[in-house]
Amino acid sequence: MSTLAVLGCMWGDEAKAKIVDFLGDNADVVVRFQGGSNAGHTICVDDKKYVFHSVPSGILYPGTKCVIGAGVVIEPFDLMAEIAELEAHNISFTGRLYIDERAGVVLPLHKDLDAGSEISSGAHKIGTTKRGIGPAYSDMVARVGIRLGDLQYPEWLRSRLQNIYSYHKIERSDADIENETSRLHEIWKQMQGYICQVDNLLRKWYLDDQYILFEGAQGTLLDVSYGTYPFVTSSHTMAGGISTGCGVPMRYVDKIIGVYKAYCTRVGDGPFPTELNDAIGDKIRVQGNEFGSTTGRPRRCGWFDAVAAQYTARLNGIDAAAVTLLDVLSGLEEIKICTGYWHNGVKLREIPTNPLIMGEVVPEYLSMKGWDKDITEIRSINKLPRAAQDYLEAIQDMLEIPIEIVSVGKNRNQTIVIK
């Protein structure tokens, strides 16, 4: 096996970065293929915490090359600031970062549009990260977007800026356009050593049998087509996004690991059938430190939703699952798993695609015994309390996919490998 994809399978924040980091110690290449700085990937090593927004998580391993594909949208100033901060921690980027020149650029305009996106208000409010992600992707699809490679040519860039402002019917003086053109061209000069066509490199590295790890951002239930639309992000977060997001054929992906939290969380608006608006939800939020790493917002918490989990496992064609944050559930007397949805007295066979219906479903629960013991120092599945093993087995049975990794703490070594 030479390639592996690690994908979030719920509403994001499944601790994908920890799994990428755990599996990435011998990776030659780690690739981000979608999303942007809306992601907040956290890795803890030796009590040091790193949060990545656009840089692939593999950067912590000195020998690993990191790639950002054309399917990502990049705020160039934020990216360079992120790089500078990591360099201050002695992490070297020289000869290790490759960014596709076709990646979309997030402009201040996009952040402004996102911040003011109360067009989505009331029942339609999405609660975005306000990083300009949706507006930047919209402009790419509308073909008025600016790509990283455009920043190289000031004359062309100037005309692209004029075009995008006129598309949005926003008045900009010539001096403002000039100023933005030169700022963007200057930042391009600082980035140019990283900019290339990554599909050519990935093809070469794949044929050289290098170990390539594709790192998903957000989660399948936030996919723009298959997630809980419209309460989704604006990219393809599922396996199909890999191919279009970095320009490799789908057959380059040998194995897909789906990451599931041992419970569910969601940040932002939208339906969440198993949400716990009670003391248990609060307890999970505190124990799991469930506050957004990008926005600091408290995450909504709820029971594991096997209906949604099975849906995403099938959509992605997942080969194996990683279950994370199992330790957070320690101390709960009872733990529930949602095994079905009821709507108006009818048991649904499929996950509803309409958010109104999804918001009205009543979950059917399997109740399981909890466990008291602190499990953060356990490194073997057989040493877990019987109730925790039963819980994992129940999830595995419902997913119909083997669980290969269980995470019992935020640190790299707090991991149980089943296979």
Catalytic residues: 13, 41
Judged by beta carbon, residue 133 or residue 213, the one nearer ligand IMP is 133
The span of 8-16, 75-83, 252-260, 399-407 binding ligand IMP (CB under 6 A) equals: 8-16
C-beta separation of 402 from 396 below 8 A: yes
Judged by beta carbon, residue 216 or residue 352, the one nearer ligand IMP is 216
Residue with tokens 């309409």: 354
C-beta separation of 318 from 401 below 8 A: yes
CB of 120 to ligand IMP, least distance (A): 10
Judged by beta carbon, residue 116 or residue 249, the one nearer ligand IMP is 116
54 lies in the binding site for ligand IMP (CB under 6 A): no
The span of 10-18, 42-50, 369-377, 393-401 binding ligand IMP (CB under 6 A) equals: 10-18
Chosen residue from 111, 131, 236, 336 binding ligand IMP by CB under 6 A: 131
CB of 74 to ligand IMP, least distance (A): 14
Chosen residue from 64, 228, 233, 415 binding ligand IMP by CB under 6 A: 233
Judged by beta carbon, residue 309 or residue 378, the one nearer ligand IMP is 309
Count of residues touching ligand IMP (by CB under 6 A) = 21
**Cα distance between residue 112 and residue 116, in whole Å:** 6
CB of 381 to ligand IMP, least distance (A): 28
The span of 5-13, 101-109, 165-173, 316-324 binding ligand IMP (CB under 6 A) equals: 5-13
Chosen residue from 24, 58, 104, 134 binding ligand IMP by CB under 6 A: 134
The span of 54-62, 103-111, 124-132, 355-363 binding ligand IMP (CB under 6 A) equals: 124-132
CB of 73 to ligand IMP, least distance (A): 10
Residue by residue, what is the 3-state secondary structure of the chain?
CCEEEEEECCCCCCCHHHHHHHHCCCCCEEEECCECCCCCEEEEECCEEEEECCCCHHHHCCCCEEEECCCEEECHHHHHHHHHHHHHCCCCCCCCEEEECCCEECCHHHHHHHHCCCCCCHHHCCCCCCCCHHHHHHHHHCCCCCEHHHHHCHHHHHHHHHHHHHHCCCCCCHHHHHHHHHHHHHHHHHHHHHEECHHHHHHHHHHCCCCEEEECCCCHHHCCCCCCCCCCCCCCCCCHHHHHHHCCCHHHCCEEEEEEECCEEECCCCCCCCECCCHHHHHHHHHCCCECCCCCCECEEECEEHHHHHHHHHHHCCCEEEEECHHHHCCCCEEEEEEEEEECCEECCCCCCCHHHHHHCEEEEEEEECCCCCCCCCCCHHHCCHHHHHHHHHHHHHHCCCEEEEECCCECCCEEECC
Chosen residue from 6, 20, 39, 74 binding ligand IMP by CB under 6 A: 39
Chosen residue from 34, 128, 220, 316 binding ligand IMP by CB under 6 A: 128
Judged by beta carbon, residue 189 or residue 297, the one nearer ligand IMP is 297
Chosen residue from 127, 240, 340, 359 binding ligand IMP by CB under 6 A: 127
CB of 345 to ligand IMP, least distance (A): 30
**Which parts of 240-269 interact with ligand IMP (CB under 6 A)?**
267-268
**Which parts of 304-333 interact with ligand IMP (CB under 6 A)?**
none
**Which parts of 163-222 interact with ligand IMP (CB under 6 A)?**
217-218, 222
Tokens standing for 294?
């990008």
The span of 33-41, 89-97, 176-184, 378-386 binding ligand IMP (CB under 6 A) equals: 33-41
358 lies in the binding site for ligand IMP (CB under 6 A): no
Positions that interact with ligand IMP (CB under 6 A): 11-13, 38-40, 126-129, 131, 133-134, 217-218, 222, 231, 233-234, 267-268
